[in-house]
Structure 1
Amino acid sequence: MEDQGSHDSVRRSYDAVAETYANRLRDELAGKPLDRALLASLVEQTEPGAPVADLGCGPGHVAGWLAERGVSAVGIDLSAAMVALGRRENPAVEFREGDLLALPAAGGEFGSAVALYSVIHLAPAELRRAFEEAHRALRGSGLLLVAFHVGSEVRHLDEWWGHEVDVDFHFLETARVAEALTAAGFTVEMRMERTHYADEAETRRAYLLARRV
């Protein structure tokens, strides 16, 4: 997410909705068989014992799913409220507060990483910088799984689940995300799109699996 100051509205918005978000999405992976399969594939291809980062982890439900399967998971999120929730609900996961453009991580710390619907709060011009940070934090040939809403629109919310917010959701073209990954030093190994599940917002979703080179 942009430089710290310019992401304040995103941070405040997620702080505001944190409890509601966690209550609504805590078990969302139970209804997402494709996501589970992609995460399992990522884990299978990760260096044994290497930590896996969940970038833009929210309340940590994905990181928690990974930890339940024996993965050393690290959740990173901009929102202090989300990080606090994650620590409360997923004690087996390590959580850190931080920005996608300046990850609180050492170079080569992670074996793999996921960024599921977190880059949608970046301006498209910031994607490369975010992916360069992920590249820095990954070990050689580490994998990054990215998911996002497909399109070119920007949806702005002033109210979200009864909470006052100020947040933009950037829909992204798959080719543009792939180009940013390539420019940041990744090779895209898989591209996949799907329609929404019945209980999801009515958007088309894309997944890119990229390997650090």
Structure 2
Amino acid sequence: MSVAWGTVPDWIAGVSTFGALCAAAGAAKAAYKQLTYLRSDEQRRVNADRQQQANQVCVWITADAFGVPHVYFNNASNLPVYGVTVRCRVPWHQIGELPGIVHTELGTLGPTEKPIALYKVEQDLLKTAKDQLIKEEAVDHYRFKEGSELANWQCDTWGQLVERDVSIGVAFLDASNLAWSRHMDGTLTDHRKLGQAQEALLPIALRRTSISPT
């Protein structure tokens, strides 16, 4: 029995149809990739627009030449931020409702032409060790009392200790009422509510961690 292989025109037509199907599949795949890229690109633009102001808000700690610690805030946008809350991780302060954490609420803070010092946060940090410090004359320089617990932390001044071992984060609402947290490692995260942004600055693990001098 012979097998009907078809005519040459039939083969040509079949190959052409198969080629057309492959081309169509390739075009559809390319179109899908292009659409996915456009959607991703649009989402990136939307995210960038959403966090444009939040990107320009930050806090940090540094010590000056006299060993005095300073907490700085900068809002480089042209609009205020609201409900500003700063939380500092203070490893030697293991008492109170939030062990290891100093919580300072600052309310509304406007745009800053240059970084400003957050004196309230600095004072709240000072309260965690004031009974263990002696103030030097003329400047706000503090040295540790002999035999105090903080004297074991291997730092010459209060400012050096704060700069080295205190981590800081800030939560706030932007001008569009979106909640943000700038974490202790600098990461920026959006949240549904300000309370959630504040809590994000206080991981559960830190609440139960007691840290000893190194």
State the TM bucket, normalised to the shorter chain.
under 0.3
More strand by share: 1
* Structure number with larger C-alpha Rg: 2
TM-score normalised according to structure 2 size: 0.21
